Amino acid sequence: MVQITWAETAVFVVLLLASVYGFLYRFGKVWRTVLKSKKDPDFTIQPVGRRVWDFVWEVLLQGKVIRQRPLPGIAHALVFWGFCAFALVTLNHFSEGLHVELLSRDSWMGAFYFLLAALFGVGVAIGIAGLAFRRFVIRPRWLEPISYESLFIAFLIFTLMATYLATFVPGWEESRALWWAHTVTLLVFMPLIPHTKHLHLVLSPVTVFLKRDGFSKIPPLVGDEDFGRYKM
């Protein structure tokens, strides 16, 4: 566990609150827009089995995106799986800033999980580097114009993986400099998520599970309602 001073903890808490506020401020606007959308009276959650399968296939296994675009799809899948694997790593990282250790690397479970996360970290680093190379070097015509926002996000994600993997270098396990580099990158990345296409990491699991098979039905008009609004 990295030894953080209480003064550093105070700075960390302030930065964390600011980052969470930045995320919720933007995401709150998006969520309110979703809640204000017109309700579909014909929507039904049934059949649940098919929805669960779609969730597993499209979200957890990333099957649809891999099938449509194999190489970019695999790169996207590696990034997604890495984010899932890093959920507990991030919680444990933040808890260390509060002098609490949720999962210790000294335990067999912690050692196994952090090593597993490191393997995913390598996959994410390769995946995000490949996607960045494709977008900014190969530059397929359908990906134009160049988005420097995407480049910055790719840099942040790669930095997150690099600063985590560096902790496996002997002597760097409890480096405060690495801890702060990883922390600052996380805190910068979090409030940017709702402002970028990476918002789908938060919303896509819900939208995939609740998606319709077709278009919403338009209620039939009664009488001459179709002409009523356009009377001269």
Output the DSSP codes for 140-206: -GGGPSP-HHHHHHHHHHHHHHHHHHGGGSTT-TT-HHHHHHHHHHHHHHHHHGGGSGGGHHHHHHH
Nearest-angstrom CA–CA distance, 149 and 168: 30
Q: Which residue has the higher pLDDT, 38 or 33?
A: 33
- Give pLDDT tens digits for 143-188: 666 667 778 888 999 999 999 999 999 888 888 999 999 999 999 9
Give the tokens for residue 131. Answer: 């996607």
Nearest by Cα to 182 from 149, 156, 201, 202 = 156
Q: Summarize pLDDT for 85-111 with one digit per residue, the tens.
A: 888 999 999 999 999 988 888 888 989
Phi, psi of 85 (to 5 degrees): -65, -30
Tell me the whole-structure pTM to 2 decimals: 0.77
**CA 225 vs CA 41, 221, 231: distances in Å:** 20, 6, 11
Mean pLDDT check: name the lowest of 11-15, 40-44, 72-76.
40-44
pLDDT at 167: 92
C-alpha 90, offset from chain centre:
12
Is residue 79 within 8 Å of residue 127, measured between CB atoms?
A: yes
d(CA 229, CA 44) in angstroms, rounded, equals: 32
Q: How far apart (Å, rounded) are the C-alpha atoms in residues 13 and 11?
A: 6
